[in-house]
Amino acid sequence: MNETRRQIEAHVQENVGIHFNELVRESEFAPGQIQYHVRRLIKGDHLVRAEFYGRTHYYPPSYDEWERAALALFRRETTREIVVHLIEHEPADPDSVADALDIARSTLEYHLSRLVEHEIVEKRYDDRKRVTLRLANPDRTGRLLSAVEPTVPDRLVDRFTRLVDNLLEPPANSP
């Protein structure tokens, strides 16, 4: 394996779930070089490629499909905050999570739908149809959470979304 490929593989190992644009930003190599070497690494079973919500992410082959989805989601600041909140305060109802994180309920539901879809969070309904949120696999989730940090661009997108939601959300006392 040549040195460029070795460096790209090492960077993915250190930044599990890194997406392509981030890999380009953090690399000294041109996008075309990265594409070429990533294809070779995938073909040689040194990397795995996965698409989540319009982004291509790269992983070492030791991560299974559930872990890859979780890691991709944890790169989003708001999603990560929801999961951390549930680790600290589970079980929780959606309103208390939205209030604690100071996000609109619609923003919470957007992120929850992805977390539920990938079986990271469970929504449970009681006999009165009240919703309770729990982590589907708290131990596994906690271990993976420590493997990633949201990137600056991901944080900016999440913060912009929160700003827009707060501007569009009616005041609490309005009809």
- Mean pLDDT (whole number) for 14-40: 92
Q: What percent of the chain has pLDDT over 70?
A: 85
Helix (H, G, I), strand (E, B) or coil at 61: coil
* β-sheet bridge partners, residue 92: 133
- Is there a contact between 111 and 157 (Cβ–Cβ < 8 Å)? no
Q: How many CA atoms lie within 13 A of 128 on its CB side?
A: 2
Alpha-carbon span 42 to 37, nearest angstrom: 9
Give pLDDT tens digits for 77-111: 889 899 999 999 989 999 999 999 999 999 999 99
- For residue 152, pLDDT over 50 is answered with no
Is residue 170 very low, low, confident or very high in pLDDT (cuts 50, 70, 90)?
low
Asked if residue 155 has pLDDT above 50, the reply is no
Tokens 């989003």, residue located: 76
Place of tokens 């690494």: 41
Cα-Cα end-to-end distance for the chain: 65
Torsion angle, alpha carbons of 121, 126, 129, 132, to 10: -30
Query: How far apart, in whole angstroms, are the C-alpha atoms of residue 54 and residue 174?
Result: 37
Query: Is 145 a residue whose pLDDT tops 90?
Result: no
Q: pLDDT digit string (tens) for 49-58?
A: 999 988 899 9
Q: Which two tokens stand for residue 68?
A: 């890859």
Question: pLDDT tens, 125-134?
Answer: 989 999 999 9
Confidence of residue 157 (pLDDT cuts 50, 70, 90): low
